[in-house]
Structure 1
């Protein structure tokens, strides 16, 4: 089985290994040489993935069984041509990939076509339009880019002087996919936010959806993302969450792991966003589940059986740096710091390399498990605080 992995960042390395363990030959593609996943892949290609002709030519030369999209910078027309040829399968699917690059289209699908509950929202194409939306809707408001993974480029507006910085942060978050529109939505009073990882598969019995235990998460000043699994939910809220996730994933089509972002208040559940590939809030599954989000994605792509068994409560923290500030140099005493991190019971760590073009650089990941979520979160706070000393 030949898998062409489009996008070769740090998380793509995990996907490469997951596919290889299942016997696949992986060709990792990115726009520059020595991308993080290139070293792990069986073959590496440097291709301008946003150029329809160059990208289509690369697919034709490689002749993969599967084209797996793991980036926000890709030419949709080339993917559509490959899918229509009948010789390769595009995952998660052309429609899902296209909407993953268009938060406006995704939100309109969810709210207008499917009737899913969402916070009141508007779109703006300039600072002036955003200011007019804020004047109409009032504070506080959340502003997000129309391009990018959930959580990146997000701002909370509390006063008029927040409008222009929020606009700039959102349009910059697209990285190599320039855009000049933002999503603005009213802040809904919630109890917590969750990611419901939903695995869409196609087997002998037909299409099926599988749900992981809900993952709670929160962003700390934009520099740290904390997540934990499971997030306690009422039976009614969990049922509503699965219903919302199932409807949006079925509407998107395709197969693989979909990270459905939801806002929860009591038993009420609001749709917020969806990622069509494994991403940061699901990294906790590297330790909490029998199969991580990357292994689930690989199995779903290849048409193999999956399970979403959680083997232990756990927590994770990802530490970031702004691309504009450059990647901090680890301190000389890094070995001693890592040794101290790993003295935390049931802890683990990942250190990340560079990835060009990412608006937010991942520096490191701390993980911890325990008999309960509270203890796991305490452990990961301790491990992550120590780990951050590498760059301070």
Structure 2
């Protein structure tokens, strides 16, 4: 059992967020319920989690020197990546020195881009996925699209909240989709993934928690995405016992491979009784915002409890619940 100190005291327990957006803010709130000293880090000032953290820093998180410097300066007990665009080679190095990366540096490294996690799932673990190719130029994209057939799905290998994703229906859309994906990618990788378009019945997120007593699953969350962005989610999503059991088996398989403690958002396509792996995030998921009202412990509370080494009791679901994203347009300084 971890010993928890008091913020700003010698025995303080520090949690550093690498990424301080809306989801990070909810993690910070839950961490502070346990008396943790929260340090919020992001690439821009006044990020949501910075507004409530005990301390914050603005750095370029893809800059390995800047990232390593701030981590060594603060010397946190827990380092919690909340975004993909991080110099993960620094986390791999620091983990070997004893720094506690949540859930592990390996999971952060593999899930920071779609190439790492898709290769792990499909090739190493043999998990069912859509057919896919990687492309480093419009010419390679053309070849991959012709092989997969139309429509097909174009995504940056690294992005968040669906940015840069596009479904194309003909060769005439190749150049536009390439430019759209590269422009909206996180980081500077000049590479995309081209995926087979699956006519699924529905898609779910299965929140999977690795904790001190094993693995716990939240009831499945259904969701709607528009242009790759989360817009609505609801819980529980109705599905057959067979499909749910298969989703849980796959979620355990891939989270076991990634290791560590914490909450993972595992996304699936469901077609009839077939379960097809889509993506995974080693952190709270935007579709899981519904758990703020649907469960006795939200995804953020579950994440922090798992990080601290607490066991997770049976999760109580209050009944059918839903959430909806309010999408703002334009820009503002307010």
TM-score by length of 1: 0.78
The match for 2:244 among 238, 243, 250 is 238
The answer to whether 1:311 aligns with 2:318 is yes
Tell me whether 42-51 or 15-24 shows the greater mean CA deviation: 42-51
Contact 2:166 2:227 in 1 (8 A): no
Query: Equivalent of 1:198, from 208, 215, 227?
Result: 208
Name which of 65, 81, 87 aligns with 1:53: 65
| 2: CA distance, partners of 1:162 / 1:179 | 21
8 Å Cα contact 2:162-2:227 kept in structure 1: no
1:223 and 1:214 map into 2 onto residues whose CA distance is: 19
| Change over 3 Å in CA distance of 1:151–1:32 after alignment to 2 | closer
How big is the shift at 1:65? Answer: 0.7
Partner of 1:31: 43
Runs ≥4 in structure 1, deviation > 4 angstroms? 221-224
Alignment check: 8 A CA contact 1:140 1:156 kept: yes
Residue 275 of structure 1 pairs with residue 286 of structure 2: no
Is the aligned partner of 1:68 residue 2:80? yes
Please list the CA deviations of residues 30-57 of structure 1 after superposition, one character each: whole Å capped at 9, or x if unmatched. 2233222112001112233222222112
Match of 1:297 among 282, 299, 303: 303
Match in the other structure for 1:365: none
Q: Which runs of 5+ in 1 are unaligned?
A: 330-352, 354-392
Q: Is the 8 A contact 2:80 2:102 kept in 1?
A: yes
Is the 2:210–2:261 Cα contact (8 Å) retained in structure 1? yes
> Corresponding residue for 2:192?
182
Alignment-derived partner of residue 377 in structure 1 = none
SS in 2 for 1:38: helix
Instruction: Return closer, same or farther for 1:133/1:74 CA change in 2, 3 Å cut-off.
Output: same
Q: Call closer, same or farther: CA 1:45–1:156 in 2, change over 3 Å.
A: same
Residue matched to 1:84: 96
The 5 A counterparts of 1:340-379 are: none
Q: Is the 8 A contact 1:262 1:272 kept in 2?
A: yes
User: What does the per-residue CA deviation read over 1:250-306, in whole Å, with 9 as the maximum and x for residues that have no partner?
Assistant: 111122111111011121100111111112111111111111111111111111122
2:129 counterpart (112, 115, 118): 118
* Long gaps (5+) in structure 2: 1-12
Measure the CA separation in 1 of the matches of 2:179 and 2:295: 38
Count of residues in correspondence between the two structures: 321
Structure 1 Cα separation of the partners of residues 144 and 64 of structure 2: 36
- The question of whether the paired residues in 2 share the 8 Å contact of 1:150 and 1:274 is answered with no
Change (3 A) 1:19 1:106: same
Structure 2 partner of 1:350: none
Distance in structure 1 (CA, Å) of the matches to 2:144 and 2:163: 21
Q: CA deviation at 1:151?
A: 3.0
Residue 173 of structure 2 is aligned to residue 162 of structure 1: yes
Structure 1 pair 271–150 and aligned structure 2 pair: CA distance change class (3 A): farther
5 Å-filtered alignment, 1:110-149, equals 110-149=121-160
How many Å separate the matches in 2 of 1:14 and 1:122?
36
Residue equivalent to 1:44: 56
Superposition CA RMSD, Å: 1.8
2: CA distance, partners of 1:34 / 1:92? 26
Corresponding residue for 2:225? 219
CA deviation after TM superposition for structure 1 residue 221, in Å: 4.9
Once the two structures are TM-superposed, the CA of residue 71 in structure 1 deviates from its matched residue by: 1.6
Q: 1:16·1:41 contact (CA, 8 Å) conserved in 2?
A: yes
- Higher mean C-alpha displacement, 38-47 vs 165-174: 165-174
154-163 or 20-29: bigger deviation: 154-163
